[in-house]
């Protein structure tokens, strides 16, 4: 999914979890599940995130890793600009 299509709330959820846990896998995945399960980021849970285009399903793990890489690369690019 290109960055311009990713919902800003999904992007912000990813960044929220990265800032809490870092990018080390699988700790980041665990953090994302923890945050979603407890709705710690703007009340978003699993279903809301899925509706925003961010599935935490293990069958979609490769897509999630690509999204995380895109979001964090974009953040680094924005910081350098």
Q: What is the pTM of this model?
A: 0.86
In which band, very low, low, confident or very high, does the pLDDT at 6 lie, cut at 50, 70 and 90? Answer: confident
In this predicted structure, what is the pLDDT of residue 77? 56
Q: Is residue 19 in a domain?
A: yes
Q: Determine phi and psi for 23, rounding to 5 degrees.
A: -100, 5
pLDDT tens sequence across 7-47 = 999 999 999 999 999 888 899 999 999 999 999 999 999 99
- pLDDT surpassing 50 at residue 1: no
Has residue 42 been placed in a domain? Answer: yes
Query: Over 50: is that where the pLDDT of 4 sits?
Result: yes
Q: Which domain holds residue 47?
A: 8-74
Q: How many domains does the chain have?
A: 1
Q: With CA atoms as reference, report the closest residue to 31 among 53, 14, 47.
A: 14
């Amino acid at each position: 999914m290109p960055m311009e299509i990713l919902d800003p709330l999904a992007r912000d959820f990813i960044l929220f979890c990265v800032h809490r846990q870092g990018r080390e896998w699988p700790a980041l995945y665990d953090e994302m599940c923890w945050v979603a399960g407890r709705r710690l980021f703007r009340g978003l849970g699993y279903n809301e995130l899925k509706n925003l285009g961010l599935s935490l399903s293990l069958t979609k793990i490769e897509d999630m890793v690509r999204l995380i890489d895109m979001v964090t690369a974009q953040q680094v690019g924005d910081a350098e600009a």
